[in-house]
Chains A and B, each alone.
Chain A
Amino acid sequence: MAEKITGAQAMVKCLEEEGVSVVFGYPGVAICPFFNSIYDSKIERVLVRTEQNAGHAASGYARVTGEVGVCVATSGPGATNLITGIATAYADSIPLVAITGQVSSELIGRDVFQEADITGAVESFVKYSYLVKDVKDIPRVFKEAFYIASTGRKGPVLIDMPIDIQNQMLEFEYPKEVSLRTYKPTVKGHAVQIKKVIEALKTAKQPVICVGGGVLLSGAEKEVQEFSAKHSIPVVNTMMGMGVMPSDHPMYFGMVGNNGKAYANLAMNNSDLLIMMGARVADRAISQPDLVTENTVVVHIDVDPAEIGKNMGPSIPLVGDIKHILQDFQKYEFEGDYSQWIAQLQTWKEEKAVKRNPKEGYVDPAEFVRLLSENMEEDGIYVADVGQNQIWSCNYYVMRKGKFLTSGGMGTMGYSIPAAMGAKRGDKTKQVVAVCGDGSFQMSFMELATIRQHNIPIKIIVLKNNYLGMVREYQHYTYSDRYSMVSLDGSPNLEMIAAAYEMPFVRIFDMENIEAKIKDFLALEGSGLMECIIDSYDLVK
């Protein structure tokens, strides 16, 4: 007979069984039995400064390691604060297990202190959720949660743990396998559909592959790069597909969408065969999908059958894991002649390249992003926040062998600093840089304390324009420069903020000697904060 342990000890054991090495969290009474038990474990605990950032940090961790990120919060406000982190991960299909404390099970429903119906509240942002009512269910629930989060279309799973259940005793045995009659994700692509795609490629004259975040989640970057190079098929990407293709890949033609490259959109709109891979055709990527399908054969490959046909009716639907499907593609030998098409795309690429006229006396954010990414370590991790900084980052980032992380689906401001922390904790050997605006910085700069406390050496760069620039730009175009609620007057002096957290600080005002300044900043030991003064009225378009 197995030894009896508490529910809280069982929770920790489950995490150990799943190979979890770090949890990001924030305590409270209802989750205290768990934090008491994890004290004896080798699992590292990173104390964030607000629960939302535990979610983002777990997301950064998951995106760098490919493992499930774990975040923990207490009941009530702890749990509700976590929701934005969970929703952000859900929108980008990032595998998370979120654990929340809950009031004692006999008190549930009585609106007691710090009680919130968190499983109800997160229902539309999670892949699945559990409210554990029997201590004996803990091993099965954890096993299932990690399995569900990390398979099929990945995503967050929430486990709500009443405090009395954490304190009850059980005989612990971790299940070896998961058996869910309702959940059998399709991994292998249908052979007939695969053949149809190959046939379509043979007859196509103007094919384009559009890659989304699904390619990264499947770990199929190499397969895409090779497939595209071997058959000379041009590739564009959505924002979540940033980082699939190196910038210097001859078949790479930029990011699509209303904030993307004009030549990438031209490529997509003029293609006669469009192969969507792990992209969900959201409005910011393709605003009028029905126009595209009018004259184009659309192949839609996704692990989630519900994505296929949701926003765009494809000619050839193909359900499965991208990596498996590309491996199947490789079994077919075919040769298409797309040389005229590629020549056309090259011409567009040159003709439609944006010529910016940056204002003298400021840092040009576009050139800055280019120089920064070129001077980062080749396999460094670039975390872009949300706002104008994100669009400049996407359009001017030079991708080599690194990773590019951003909140693409939900567009959650304040993502970059906590996600960068999680990324660094996920791979301590990699250089990690977070790039944000002065708005997004102020949404999460409390995490500078976490960075300091847990010694997480990341570099943070703030593109400061003293405005909520993306909204200001929108008000510029839509409301004839009536700037409402967008001025960031009253913002703190970042040099003093850096000093308060005993972090090295660099401020740059213009482009003079900028590459050397970037190099020096990146070479700093430990973490650092850089402020770039940019033109308040600069536009991403």
Chain B
Amino acid sequence: MKRIFSVLVENRSGVLCKVAGLFSRRSYNIDSLAVGETEDKSVSVMTIVSSGDERTMEQIEKQLNKKLDIIKVKTFTEENSMCRELMLIKVKYQSGNRSDIIEICNVLNASVLDMSSSSLLIQICDAPEKIELLIKMLTPFGIVELARTGTLSLQKCSENEKAK
């Protein structure tokens, strides 16, 4: 089972270490982790994707709530939230297959950011499974390197949402 924890934390030094330490100490998985500031500079949001059984997911939420630097823990499933990830990926090409790569990019809504005579630097921002798909499609051409941000996630819109 996959869960997405959107964790609002105090924007202080050491907090990332405490949260990561909690996961390692209790042997919880981190599938992906993304950290950034929110509209309030004193608050950061950590989006942690984890997987495990029901009891473990419940424990993660409770243990996170116990940490004193954590303000709020929101738990999403893949169904009730929107997830996006950004990836930059560099692929090798030969003169004969460049247009194949560009076609794949067009189909998957990826764009070319930079190129040389032997490689393309491609950007994609999409749901994690689309990112996986792009990697799979580009692998045969030869991946030079890639970097991913980790999943960001917010709950889907509901009626009557209030601004803070």
- Contact residues of A with B, CB < 8 Å? 119-120, 123-124, 127-128, 148, 180-183, 304-306, 309-310, 313
Main SS at interface, chain B: helix
B47-85: which residues lie under 8 A (CB-CB) from chain A? 55, 58-59, 62-63, 65-71
Query: How long is the Cα–Cα vector from A19 to B62 in the complex, in angstroms?
Result: 33
Please list 22 pairs of residues, one from A and one from B, whose beta carbons are closer than 8 Å in the complex, sorted by A's number.
A120-B17, A123-B17, A124-B25, A128-B68, A148-B68, A180-B68, A181-B71, A182-B67, A182-B69, A182-B70, A183-B68, A304-B66, A305-B62, A305-B65, A305-B66, A306-B59, A306-B63, A306-B65, A306-B66, A309-B58, A309-B59, A310-B59
The interface residues of chain A lying within 8 Å CB-to-CB of B142 are none
Verify B17–A127 contact, CB threshold 8 A. no
Query: How long is the Cα–Cα vector from A310 to B58 in the complex, in angstroms?
Result: 9
Verify B68–A127 contact, CB threshold 8 A. yes
B36 at the interface (CB under 8 A from A): no
Query: How long is the Cα–Cα vector from A305 to B55 in the complex, in angstroms?
Result: 13
The interface residues of chain B lying within 8 Å CB-to-CB of A181 are 71
A97 to chain B, nearest CB (A): 15
B148 at the interface (CB under 8 A from A): no
Interface string of B12-40 (1 = CB under 8 A from A): 00100110010001000000000000000
How many contacts between A and B, using CB within 8 angstroms? 35
The interface residues of chain A lying within 8 Å CB-to-CB of B18 are 123
Size of the chain B interface, CB-CB below 8 angstroms = 18
Query: How long is the Cα–Cα vector from A305 to B10 in the complex, in angstroms?
Result: 21
B21 to chain A, nearest CB (A): 5
Verify B62–A306 contact, CB threshold 8 A. yes
**Closest residue to A133 on the B side, CB-wise?**
B13
Query: How long is the Cα–Cα vector from A340 to B62 in the complex, in angstroms?
Result: 40
Further contacts, 13 of them, CB under 8 A, given A123-B21, A310-B62:
A119-B14, A123-B17, A124-B25, A127-B68, A180-B68, A181-B71, A182-B71, A304-B66, A305-B65, A306-B59, A309-B55, A309-B58, A309-B62
B162 to chain A, nearest CB (A): 19
A526 to chain B, nearest CB (A): 44
**Closest residue to A131 on the B side, CB-wise?**
B14
B86 to chain A, nearest CB (A): 29
Query: How long is the Cα–Cα vector from A119 to B14 in the complex, in angstroms?
Result: 10
The interface residues of chain B lying within 8 Å CB-to-CB of A306 are 59, 62-63, 65-66
- Contact residues of B with A, CB < 8 Å? 10, 14, 17-18, 21, 25, 55, 58-59, 62-63, 65-71
The interface residues of chain B lying within 8 Å CB-to-CB of A180 are 68
The answer to whether A182 and B68 touch (CB under 8 A), given A123-B21, A309-B59, is yes
> Which 5 residue pairs across A and B have the least CB separation, nearest first?
A306-B62, A128-B68, A124-B25, A182-B71, A306-B66
The interface residues of chain A lying within 8 Å CB-to-CB of B55 are 309, 313
**Closest residue to B63 on the A side, CB-wise?**
A306
Verify A182–B10 contact, CB threshold 8 A. yes
**Closest residue to A181 on the B side, CB-wise?**
B71
**Closest residue to A304 on the B side, CB-wise?**
B66
Query: How long is the Cα–Cα vector from A123 to B21 in the complex, in angstroms?
Result: 8
Verify B21–A124 contact, CB threshold 8 A. yes
A322 to chain B, nearest CB (A): 18
With most chain A CB atoms within 10 A of its CB, the pick from B14, B58, B66, B67 is B66
Query: How long is the Cα–Cα vector from A306 to B70 in the complex, in angstroms?
Result: 15
A121 to chain B, nearest CB (A): 11
With most chain A CB atoms within 10 A of its CB, the pick from B18, B25, B65, B68 is B68
The interface residues of chain A lying within 8 Å CB-to-CB of B69 are 182
**Closest residue to B8 on the A side, CB-wise?**
A182
**Closest residue to B66 on the A side, CB-wise?**
A306
**Closest residue to B22 on the A side, CB-wise?**
A124
B137 to chain A, nearest CB (A): 43
Query: How long is the Cα–Cα vector from A182 to B67 in the complex, in angstroms?
Result: 8
Query: How long is the Cα–Cα vector from A119 to B13 in the complex, in angstroms?
Result: 12
Query: How long is the Cα–Cα vector from A180 to B67 in the complex, in angstroms?
Result: 12
Query: How long is the Cα–Cα vector from A182 to B11 in the complex, in angstroms?
Result: 12
A145 to chain B, nearest CB (A): 11
B13 to chain A, nearest CB (A): 9
Query: How long is the Cα–Cα vector from A202 to B70 in the complex, in angstroms?
Result: 40
Query: How long is the Cα–Cα vector from A119 to B18 in the complex, in angstroms?
Result: 10
The interface residues of chain A lying within 8 Å CB-to-CB of B17 are 120, 123
B45 to chain A, nearest CB (A): 14
Query: How long is the Cα–Cα vector from A120 to B16 in the complex, in angstroms?
Result: 12
Query: How long is the Cα–Cα vector from A124 to B26 in the complex, in angstroms?
Result: 10
The interface residues of chain B lying within 8 Å CB-to-CB of A310 are 59, 62
Query: How long is the Cα–Cα vector from A305 to B58 in the complex, in angstroms?
Result: 11
Query: How long is the Cα–Cα vector from A138 to B96 in the complex, in angstroms?
Result: 68
**Closest residue to A305 on the B side, CB-wise?**
B62
**Closest residue to A308 on the B side, CB-wise?**
B62
A312 to chain B, nearest CB (A): 10
The interface residues of chain A lying within 8 Å CB-to-CB of B14 are 119
The interface residues of chain A lying within 8 Å CB-to-CB of B62 are 305-306, 309-310
